């Protein structure tokens, strides 16, 4: 079995690898989004965004809570080749059962809702993205700290998708090719990832067991509830905006949100690399875990704060660069969104880097559930009042609520400052 090095050097290499792939995640949309915004136009582009937002709910179900629970479990047991094989096969089997369930739900929706029934092929192309998600078990790569390989495969997949887009998307009627390009690139990257996992000898291959699948399903449920709460408000916002205000307002929101996500992704390499290491250290060497958290806190604070400041100051030229004329409405949306990368950086530090490794799942769930309720209460009034800007204000308020409540909870538990 190939074992990850438990060293500062390997952690640094993981962060660098993830920084490269996150840079690509930011640069590639800088190339594709201006092209799509101009070729498709606001209305057709908004339809593509709506289909992608809808598919995120299916991806949420298929991912379950495994992006956290499975990563943590793999990190804790990565030195046991037999147990690691059981963990992987049981979790992966559960995910395939979940995608079967998603397929049934998807067919029921597209045939049962008149708005979708006339564009079955369009939404079926979008659904293929869910398949690509199952084929790429990111949680395993993160758990064994093989993030360099994950980064290469993700970058290659996104590059393939970009090439497909430039070849296939030529006019406003080609939105379906955007969805197919994204889906095929995800499937190709996923197939290569599965090939490497099974050929590299990380674990002993075995058949999944019903008892093991049930155990993984139960263990992942509490963190799945957290994922549902987070995704409820992050994915509900664009869906509600598109439904209430229409595709043009959604297009404005999406352009600003792409820029926000790109800036926010600057903290992802730190978060993804450190989470499995902290999960491993908490059970082995708690003092080392807290030292690592303190170092990561400084980095996340500086990076996320700089990203938010950049978005606020450069909102207008960034929107012009990304989408060109006809998307001026996205500037004010981006102004309201600009604090979000900093707020998410703080909530990630408090929640993912501290509460999950310390198994404070119940409190974590309650905070995120309250955030989802808050989103529902303020979302519709704000969208009706300010459309795309109202959606951005909703996102900012909810993220502020999450980070502040997590901070005071950890202060009350005397966890901060250890």
SS (H, E, C) 98-141: HHHHHHHHHHHHHHHCHHHHCCHHHHHHHHHHHHHHHHCCHHHH
Query: 106 is written with which tokens?
Result: 């998807």
Query: 386 is written with which tokens?
Result: 């300010």
Q: pLDDT tens-digit profile of 106-157? A: 999 888 887 787 788 889 999 998 998 889 888 888 788 776 777 778 788 8
Q: pTM for this one? A: 0.63
CA distance 65 to 30: 31
CA distances from 174 to 46, 56, 183, 185, 251 (A): 13, 21, 15, 17, 16
Q: How far is CA 4 from the centre of its chain?
A: 24
- Region of 145 (left: φ > 0; alpha: ψ -120 to 50; beta: rest) is left
Q: What is the pLDDT along the chain (418 residues), one digit of tens a residue?
A: 444 445 566 666 666 666 666 566 556 666 787 788 788 887 888 888 888 888 888 988 888 878 777 887 888 787 788 888 899 999 999 999 999 999 999 999 888 887 787 788 889 999 998 998 889 888 888 788 776 777 778 788 888 888 999 989 888 888 899 999 989 988 998 899 899 888 887 888 889 899 989 988 888 777 777 777 777 667 788 888 888 888 888 888 888 888 888 788 777 767 766 777 777 676 666 677 777 778 878 888 898 999 999 999 998 888 887 777 778 888 899 999 999 999 999 998 888 888 887 878 788 888 988 998 899 899 899 998 888 899 999 999 999 999 999 999 988 887 775 5
């Amino acid at each position: 079995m190939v074992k990850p090095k438990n060293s500062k050097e390997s952690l640094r290499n993981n962060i660098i690898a993830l920084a490269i792939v996150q840079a690509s995640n930011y640069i590639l949309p800088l190339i594709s989004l201006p092209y799509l915004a101009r070729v498709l136009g606001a209305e057709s582009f908004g339809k593509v965004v709506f289909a992608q937002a809808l598919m995120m709910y299916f991806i949420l179900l298929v991912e379950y809570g495994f992006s956290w629970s499975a990563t943590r479990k793999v990190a804790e047991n990565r030195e046991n080749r037999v147990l690691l094989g059981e963990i992987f096969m049981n979790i992966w089997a559960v995910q395939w059962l979940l995608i079967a369930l998603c397929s049934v739900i998807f067919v029921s929706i597209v045939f049962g809702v008149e708005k979708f029934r006339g564009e079955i092929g369009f939404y079926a192309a979008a659904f293929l993205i869910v398949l690509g998600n199952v084929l790429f078990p990111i949680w395993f790569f993160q758990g064994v700290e093989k993030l360099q390989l994950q980064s290469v495969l993700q970058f290659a997949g996104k590059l393939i998708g970009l090439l497909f887009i430039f070849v296939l998307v030529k006019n406003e009627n080609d939105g379906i090719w955007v969805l197919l390009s994204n889906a095929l690139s995800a499937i190709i990257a996923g197939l290569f990832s599965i090939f490497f996992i099974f050929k590299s000898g990380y674990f002993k291959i075995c058949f999944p067991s019903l008892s093991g699948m049930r155990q993984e399903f139960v263990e992942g449920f509490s963190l799945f509830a957290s994922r549902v709460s987070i995704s409820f408000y992050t994915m509900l916002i664009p869906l509600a905006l598109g439904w209430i205000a229409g595709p043009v307002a959604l297009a404005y929101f999406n352009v600003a949100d792409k820029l926000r996500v790109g800036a926010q992704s600057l903290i992802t390499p730190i978060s993804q690399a450190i989470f499995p290491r902290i999960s491993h250290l908490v059970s082995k060497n708690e003092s080392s875990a807290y030292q690592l958290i303190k170092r990561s806190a400084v980095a996340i604070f500086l990076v996320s704060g700089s990203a938010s400041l950049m978005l606020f100051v450069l909102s207008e030229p960034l929107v012009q660069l990304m989408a060109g004329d006809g998307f001026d409405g996205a500037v004010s949306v981006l102004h309201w969104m600009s604090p979000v990368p900093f707020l998410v950086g703080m909530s990630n530090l408090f929640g993912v880097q501290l509460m999950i490794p310390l198994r404070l799942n119940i409190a974590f769930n309650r905070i995120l559930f309250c955030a989802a309720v808050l989103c529902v209460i303020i979302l519709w009034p704000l969208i009706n009042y300010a459309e795309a800007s109202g959606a951005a204000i909703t996102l900012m308020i909810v993220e502020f609520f999450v980070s502040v409540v997590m901070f005071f909870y950890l202060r009350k538990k005397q966890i901060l400052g250890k």
